[in-house]
């Protein structure tokens, strides 16, 4: 679709997507201190210890996500126009469930609000990627802080109250108030602050927050089709945070592959974009992101690329050694519910977030530890990494997560009982990934044509049945590992490590059913 706006008068050169055009508003957003902090938050916390060039940050990733959101939006409507023109040419009836651009008022407004929502999807991410989530404040403290923030009233609307009420509904539905606040919730709050600072109207802020998460129910964008009122906002949300693909996944696969120097996460972006449609779900009264069955090879390619990147890169033994070291060293801090960020005041809260880079977080962690745990963090900061002792994969009859954990527990206890040396310097690591989990998601939908050339929603079973690749990926990938500290400069320590590996492998072999 040919789309031009003189608002896109700025540009940034990106190694993944080339020239990315931006508006003055978007440039002001990325210059805001709450967004600018993302320059010091790596996209993949410890991956540079394996792939030295993987030092890219959530700052450039967020800009790439914004770019892909607009590409998905424009291509979906372009594909819809192509489809409508084909119907008219061959006099094919039906397909009233494909949204055309003529039905959408304020098209340009939606385009730019979608871009801003995508741009700020990670603005609340803490340091150390998801490892920081265990140290985030409790939901109840976070919500109370927002309620007490008197500076969130815009156009006579207290948006802080609106946001907290919406978040409390989500927490009560899926979690509880004592759990650690999710980084997505912090993103909504920070987005609200940034947009208020840039003098956005209250209604526009609510619309952008709802695009970030339609479950907030802060806004609706209604159109009329076939005599029914339809909400288009979920379609925009599915572009930002949908499944089996969205602009976030699409960018991080390409970006992480590029900066890691591997080919595992590459896929056919252009074929994916050609497969998108704005699908009207009359049953639920919403527009959803639809993916045509003709794009099945591209979806297969995308899901397989994601699977390979997780298996070969994110789950890499050295990357996970780093995660294990941090997890083991901070276990006592987590048990004591230690908080690196307090919710005493709104100003103090986001000033602390701004201060906490990846490096600063590790320094603060180290300063709160002593003994072996302090040494572990020092080793981590200086890349003296633990070594893998054993690796466990599911076996027939022992495929459950609990089975792997039991094996790891037995193996760790075996080492601790037989050897004194590794008592405080051994840890377990478990990883699991279901490559097809997103096909069962209730957001973006997979489409197929019926006998009347109408698009209908295809179920999970249709896609798995018709795809050999999906059949091959239709089970969880699970892996368990045990790591321990080894002084590679000490020959005796190296010899003992080898003996532990041999004894442990023998013990596990003898315990097999």
Mean pLDDT calculated for residue range 140-149: 95
Task: State the pLDDT at residue 509.
Answer: 85
User: pLDDT tens digit string along 214-234?
Assistant: 999 999 999 888 889 999 999
Residues 434/436/440/444 CA torsion (nearest 10 deg): 120
pLDDT at 255 over 70: yes
Task: Read off the pLDDT band of 443 (50, 70, 90).
Answer: confident
Give, as one character, the DSSP assignment of residue 312: I
The proportion of the chain whose per-residue pLDDT surpasses 70, expressed as a percent, equals 97
The angle formed by the CA atoms of residues 461, 444 and 106, to the nearest 5 degrees, is 155
User: pLDDT tens digit string along 361-419?
Assistant: 999 999 999 999 999 999 999 999 999 999 998 887 777 889 999 999 999 999 888 88
* Bridge partner list, 290: 277, 445
**435 contact partners, CB below 8 Å, separation of at least 6:** 303, 304, 306, 307, 473, 474, 477
Q: What does pTM read for this prediction?
A: 0.95
User: pLDDT tens digit string along 112-138?
Assistant: 999 999 999 999 999 998 888 889 999
Q: Residues 411, 391: contact at Cβ < 8 Å?
A: no
Give, as one character, the DSSP assignment of residue 339: -
C-beta pairs of 439-443 under 8 Å, 24+ apart in sequence: 439/243, 439/244, 439/303, 439/463, 439/464, 439/470, 441/242, 441/243, 441/244, 443/234, 443/237, 443/238, 443/241, 443/242, 443/243, 443/288, 443/289
Backbone torsions φ then ψ of 451, nearest 5 degrees? -65, -15
pLDDT at 1 over 70: no
- Under CATH, what is the fold of the domain 10-356+442-474? Hypothetical protein af1432 (1.10.3210)
pLDDT at 24 over 70: yes
- Beta-strand relationship, 228-231 and 276-281: unpaired
C-alpha 264, offset from chain centre: 18
Label each residue of 399-414 as H, E or C. CCHHHHHHHHHHHHHH
pLDDT at 475 over 90: no
- Between CA 60 and CA 37 the distance in angstroms is 12
Q: Residues 484, 422: contact at Cβ < 8 Å?
A: yes
């Amino acid at each position: 679709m040919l789309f031009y706006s003189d608002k896109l008068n700025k540009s940034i050169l990106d190694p993944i997507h080339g020239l990315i055009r931006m508006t003055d508003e978007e440039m002001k957003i990325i210059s805001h201190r709450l967004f600018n902090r993302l320059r010091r938050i790596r996209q993949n916390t410890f991956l540079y210890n394996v792939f030295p060039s993987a030092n890219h940050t959530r700052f450039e990733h967020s800009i790439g996500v914004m770019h892909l959101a607009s590409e998905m939006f424009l291509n979906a409507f372009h594909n819809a126009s192509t489809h409508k023109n084909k119907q008219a040419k061959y006099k094919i009836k039906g397909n009233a469930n494909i949204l055309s651009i003529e039905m959408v008022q304020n098209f340009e407004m939606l385009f730019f609000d979608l871009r801003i929502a995508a741009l700020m999807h990670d603005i609340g991410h803490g340091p150390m990627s998801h490892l920081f989530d265990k140290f985030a404040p409790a939901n109840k403290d976070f919500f109370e802080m927002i309620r007490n923030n008197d500076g969130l009233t815009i156009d006579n609307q207290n948006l802080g109250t609106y946001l907290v009420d919406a978040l409390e509904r989500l927490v009560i539905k899926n979690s509880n108030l004592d759990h650690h606040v999710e980084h997505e919730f912090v993103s909504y709050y920070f987005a609200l602050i940034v947009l208020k600072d840039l003098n956005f109207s209250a209604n526009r802020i609510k619309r952008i927050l709802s695009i970030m998460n339609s479950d907030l129910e802060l806004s609706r964008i209604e159109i009329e089709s076939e005599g029914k009122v339809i909400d288009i906002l979920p379609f925009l949300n599915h572009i930002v945070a949908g499944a089996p693909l969205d602009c976030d996944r699409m960018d991080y696969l390409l970006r992480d592959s590029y900066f890691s120097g591997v080919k595992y996460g590459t896929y056919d972006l252009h074929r994916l974009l050609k497969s998108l449609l704005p699908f009207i779900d009359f049953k639920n009264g919403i527009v959803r992101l639809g993916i045509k069955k003709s794009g099945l090879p591209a979806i297969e390619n995308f899901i397989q690329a994601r699977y390979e990147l997780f298996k070969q890169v994110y789950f890499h033994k050295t990357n996970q050694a780093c995660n294990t070291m941090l997890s083991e060293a901070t276990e006592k801090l987590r048990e004591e519910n230690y908080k690196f960020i307090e919710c005493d005041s709104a100003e103090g809260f986001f000033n602390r977030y701004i201060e906490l880079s990846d490096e600063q977080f590790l320094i603060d962690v180290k300063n709160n530890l002593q003994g072996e745990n302090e040494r572990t963090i020092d080793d981590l900061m200086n890349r003296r990494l633990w070594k893998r002792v054993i690796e466990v994969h599911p076996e027939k009859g022992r495929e459950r997560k609990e089975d792997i954990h039991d094996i790891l527990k037995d193996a760790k206890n075996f080492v601790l009982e037989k050897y004194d040396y590794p008592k405080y310097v051994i840890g377990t690591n478990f990883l699991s990934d279901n490559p097809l989990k997103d096909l069962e998601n209730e957001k973006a939908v997979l489409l197929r044509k019926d006998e009347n050339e109408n698009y209908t929603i295809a179920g999970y079973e249709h896609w798995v049945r018709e795809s050999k690749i999906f059949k091959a990926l239709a089970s969880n990938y699970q892996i368990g590992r045990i790591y321990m500290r080894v002084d590679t400069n000490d020959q005796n320590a190296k010899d003992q490590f080898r003996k532990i590996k041999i004894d442990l492998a023998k013990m596990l072999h003898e315990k097999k059913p």
